[in-house]
Amino acid sequence: MIDINLIRENKELVKENIKKKFQEEKLPLVDDVIELDKRIRECKYQGDSLRQERNATSDEIGILFRDKKVEEANAKKQRVVEINNQLQDIEKEENELSEELKSKMMAIPNIIDDSVPIGKDDSENVEIEKFGEPFVPDYEIPYHADICAVLNGLDKEAAGRTSGNGFYYLMGDIARLHSAMLSYARDFMIDKGFTYCVPPFMIRSDVVTGVMSFAEMDAMMYKIENEDLYLIGTSEHSMIGKYKGQIVKEEELPITLTSYSPCFRKEVGSHGLEERGLYRVHQFEKQEMIVLCKPEESMDWYNKMWSYTVEFFRSLDVPVRTLECCSGDLADLKVKSCDVEAWSPRQKKYFEVGSCSTLGDAQARRLGIRAKGENGNYLLSTLNNPLVAICTQVGNWLKSLNFQAKSTLISA
């Protein structure tokens, strides 16, 4: 959510940003917000004027009763009743207008960074750099689900009976590989100076709407029936929510956290060969990194965070590349985003394994996360980047290996 003052003072900039994101249907929201803001301020002015009148009238009533002018005092008391009734109506209107304003404000996309390339969708993302040489061996690489089957490591049939499509059992050495990847990812981030955290796996709706857009929420998250709780789609949600309504001491900045969690996703419409293994599943585990920092430090942290993902995958000898996400591929709260993609010799292409994002103060504004500085309180910048999605990455890692040990795997 952007600052209302920006819309008041430079609505054309906000409209131009909407056009850059190819969301022209949202252009009327800017004028709607300006009109609602005007009406809310009129309500506040009327309310303040009536409260001043009520206070002055109350003082007059006291004087009149003191001077035994009961009839005049009672007439004034009737005016106080009228003022209270008017205030009740005005406050109700102000609350309704404020809710409508908030809803429209939350639908207006954040201002993207000037460096973001303009494009309609992910097909127009821009490659930045490659790390490691892509290779394709001179033998056929088995699909990761087939490797898991040889090792008796994956059981989706049984999971279908217990939980439905999109779930799985990991068994034996594949389950051990899964746990080993988690441990390695955790320690990798701890060695970078991040504090390890295991967060709640369910969060309330006011936290959900504070960290993501309504459209993302509906597409991704599972709602707990008859409870104001959602299963998290990523630990970013509960980790940022940890600071909801808090004023952080400036000397505690930056806050750098790495969190483990299971992630629950609807993944509507997934299908095809790449989904028959450990892709597009409803449940997986992930190691995340979160940073809350001063606004002027956000780009430095952004560059550090995506580089950590690159370093992690290169430590596994997996070739990767980075892509600058174009304007149309950015979620509404994002200022700038960079995808890290790993090379698949079996598919002979790169696939996404991480996406580093800076959201400016959008999440902090929604959730009321501030720092106390010498010149007063200010909103923090928030950043997030998944180091690795473990379950999916087990499949990615298996299929990205240089299969010189192929015969050992197959005979195991």
Once rounded to an integer, what is the mean pLDDT over residues 346-375? Answer: 93
- Taking only the tens place, the pLDDT of each residue in 131-163 is 999 988 888 888 888 888 888 988 988 998 999
Q: What is the pTM of this model?
A: 0.86
User: Is pLDDT above 50 for 402?
Assistant: no
Band (217; pLDDT cuts 50, 70, 90): confident
**pLDDT value, residue 47:** 94
**Burial profile 154-180: b = 16 or more Cβ within 10 angstroms, e = fewer:** bbbeebeeeeeebebebeeebeebbee
Q: How far is CA 317 from CA 203, 261, 287, 314, 363, in A?
A: 37, 25, 19, 5, 35
Q: What is the largest CA-CA distance in the chain?
A: 107
Ramachandran region, residue 154 (left: φ > 0; alpha: ψ -120 to 50; beta: rest): beta
**pLDDT value, residue 406:** 39
Once rounded to an integer, what is the mean pLDDT over residues 269-289? Answer: 72
Q: Which residue has the higher pLDDT, 256 or 391?
A: 256
Domains of the chain and CATH, by start: 4-107 (1.10.287.40), 122-411 (3.30.930.10)
Beta bridge partners of 264: 283
> Please, what is the angle between helix 27-66 and helix 11-20, to 10°?
140
Once rounded to an integer, what is the mean pLDDT over residues 313-327? Answer: 95
**pLDDT value, residue 61:** 87
Beta bridge partners of 288: 259, 386
Q: Above pLDDT 90, what percent of the chain?
A: 68
Ramachandran region, residue 172 (left: φ > 0; alpha: ψ -120 to 50; beta: rest): left
Q: Which residue has the higher pLDDT, 400 or 22?
A: 22
Side chain identity at residue 390, one-letter code: I
Band (410; pLDDT cuts 50, 70, 90): very low
**pLDDT value, residue 69:** 85
Euclidean distance between CA atoms 249 and 253, whole angstroms: 7
**Per-chain mean pLDDT for the chain:** 89
- Taking only the tens place, the pLDDT of each residue in 367-382 is 999 999 888 999 999 9
Tokens representing residue 22 in the block: 């190819």
Please state whether the peptide bond connecting residue 254 to the residue before it is cis, i.e. omega within 30 degrees of 0: yes
- Taking only the tens place, the pLDDT of each residue in 35-71 is 999 999 999 999 999 999 999 998 888 888 888 888 8
